[in-house]
Amino acid sequence: MSSQTTFIGAVEIGTSKITVLVGEYTGRELAIIGRGECSSRGVIKGTVVDYKAASECTHSALEQAERDAGERIEVVFLGQTGGHLEGFYNEANVNVKASDNMIEPGDVRTVCDLAKGKELPVGRMVVHHIRRPFRVDGRLVPGNPEHLVGQSLAVGYWTVHGQEQRLADTIHVIRGFNLEVRELVLASLASGHMVTTAEERQHGVLVIDLGAGTTDFALYRDGAAHTTGVVSVGGVHLTNDLSIGLRLTEGQAEKLKLRFGRAAVQTKDRAHKVWLDGNFAIGDRQFSQQTIEQITAARTLELLAVVKKKLGTAFTPETCSAGVVLTGGTAKLPGITGVAAKVFGVPAHLGEAPTWVSENLRDPGYHTALGLLYYGVSAQAEKLAPARRGSGFIDGVKRLFVYS
């Protein structure tokens, strides 16, 4: 084992389950060496509401992952979601200082500080500052504008911020295991980086991560995240609708959703019945499949419509030519791509992990955890292994993103 090796834990504390992946990062390459999972308790809509229960589950998953990896996790990249997360866009513009109008590092630093300097309400904290491309005299500059010539330099930041107490609760769950949270990553950005390509992000793509308690979305334009958001509605609400509509327990409703739920009504015959358990035992009941589909379809349509509404003017079919990519556990609902395509007016498809991800990690439920490692290591590459950072880093990550 190299002395440069860092063992990173990617932790996603979700509403239905907690996922931990252990990555071995050598400065150039990242390999997944361990996995831990645990059913979630004490977490509602991505927010910790019962510290003790959430801690027990998370620590259990961490221990399981460490046992699987045979190594101790050193730092954690933590996924962050929840309805408390919000975002806003702030742009700044400075006149270029030099007499020859050549942009200097000081100009770039000043415009960036100004764009990020907007104050937040009391009790709010920044989670991400996502920079959009620079503009020199209104002209889009994808890269670094230094040494370009122009009268004015402008840049905008999409700032994601969350409630301090909620963020602290999540971090303290990890600290309770005596681990340091090195990076906090928005769940939508993590999964977005996993299921989209750089080309798709350049052309514009909307990633919707349909989780159990929340739906995270990230809109990419010009190769970078343009807008992000969280809707506190997820697969659990579909279950809840079925439970109320058909007068079932949550467990029974969940079972029906998984077996017969659809994002669009497909069954024409209202008289077509399905059994709850199918074992014809006492308590086994029949339900109209069309009714089940109507309930799940209505909620799915509403959910996607809410996402579109939250995106507002940021989303237009013209600026999202790569379409919509759906991921997360609820994205496995049959017919959901069709509904998404209808709602957003662009093609939609289910997100898939890159081909270099091993088979047992290709389930949509792992996209966020994988993305945490992928995104977190990219962001932290300099801090984690400054001596070995090389140009082939991303390729190395892709090559070794294989869990055995």
Partner 1 sequence: MNPENANAPLARSWRDIPQPVKPRAMSAGGRWRRVRRGVRLAALAALAIGLGWGVWFGVGALSAAPKHLPAVAQTVPVRHLDLKTPAGGVLDGAWLARTLALPRDATLLELDLERLRDRLLAEGQVASASLARQFPDRLIVRLTERVPVARVRVEFSGQPRDLLVAPDGFVFQGAGFDPAMLASLPWLSGLALIPEGAGFRPIPGMGRVAQLFADAQFSAQHLYQTWMSVSLARLAIDRQLEVTTKQGTTILFNATGDFFVQLATLDYLLEQVANTSAVRARIDLTVGRNVPVMLELPPPAGAAGDPPATAPAPSPSHPLFTLPARPAINPT
> 100, 119, 359, 382: which one contacts partner 1 (CB under 8 A)?
119
Smallest distance from partner 1 to CB 59, Å: 5
Smallest distance from partner 1 to CB 96, Å: 11
CA angle 334, 336, 337 (to 5 degrees): 115
> 28, 41, 175, 398: which one contacts partner 1 (CB under 8 A)?
175
Smallest distance from partner 1 to CB 46, Å: 15
Pairing of strands 348-350, 215-221: unpaired
| 379 in contact with partner 1 (CB under 8 A) | no
> 33, 44, 53, 125: which one contacts partner 1 (CB under 8 A)?
125
C-alpha closest to that of 140 among 121, 123, 156, 160: 156
- Burial (CB < 10 A; 0-12, 13-18, 19+), residue 41, is middle
Q: Of 260 and 375, which has the nearer Cβ to partner 1?
A: 375
Site for partner 1 in 129-168 (CB under 8 A): 159, 161-162, 164, 167-168
Site for partner 1 in 58-117 (CB under 8 A): 59, 62-63, 72, 94-95, 110, 113-114, 116-117
> 13, 127, 242, 353: which one contacts partner 1 (CB under 8 A)?
127
Smallest distance from partner 1 to CB 278, Å: 41
Which H or E element spans position 256? helix 250-260
CB 228 within 8 A of CB 218: yes
> 172, 255, 332, 362: which one contacts partner 1 (CB under 8 A)?
172
| 124-132, 187-195, 336-344, 355-363 -> range binding partner 1 (CB under 8 A) | 124-132
Q: Of 106 and 386, which has the nearer Cβ to partner 1?
A: 106
Q: Of 159 and 228, which has the nearer Cβ to partner 1?
A: 159
Cα(300)–Cα(295) distance, integer angstroms = 9
Q: Which residues contact 27 (CB under 8 A, 6 or more apart)?
A: 2, 4, 5, 384, 385, 387, 388, 389
Cα(328)–Cα(231) distance, integer angstroms = 14
- Return the DSSP state at 149: B
Smallest distance from partner 1 to CB 389, Å: 21
Pairing of strands 215-221, 224-231: antiparallel
Q: Which residues contact 122 (CB under 8 A, 6 or more apart)?
A: none
- Phi/psi for 99 (5° steps) reads -70, -30
CA angle 323, 222, 108 (to 5 degrees): 160
| 56 in contact with partner 1 (CB under 8 A) | yes
| 139-147, 175-183, 279-287, 394-402 -> range binding partner 1 (CB under 8 A) | 175-183
Smallest distance from partner 1 to CB 230, Å: 15
Residues pairing with 391 in the sheet? none
CB 114 within 8 A of CB 92: yes
| 178 in contact with partner 1 (CB under 8 A) | yes
Q: Of 55 and 252, which has the nearer Cβ to partner 1?
A: 55
Cα(53)–Cα(266) distance, integer angstroms = 40
- Total number of residues that touch partner 1 (CB under 8 A): 36
Site for partner 1 in 262-301 (CB under 8 A): none
DSSP letters, 266-327, are: ----TT-EEESSSS--TT--EEEHHHHHHHHHHHHHHHHHHHHHHHGGG--GGG-TT-EEEE
> 28, 118, 255, 332: which one contacts partner 1 (CB under 8 A)?
118
> 180, 199, 363, 395: which one contacts partner 1 (CB under 8 A)?
180
Q: Which two tokens stand for residue 251?
A: 């467990």
> 131, 148, 176, 349: which one contacts partner 1 (CB under 8 A)?
176
| 181 in contact with partner 1 (CB under 8 A) | yes
Q: Of 64 and 378, which has the nearer Cβ to partner 1?
A: 64
Which residues lie near partner 1 (CB under 8 A)?
55-56, 59, 62-63, 72, 94-95, 110, 113-114, 116-120, 124-127, 159, 161-162, 164, 167-168, 171-172, 175-181, 184
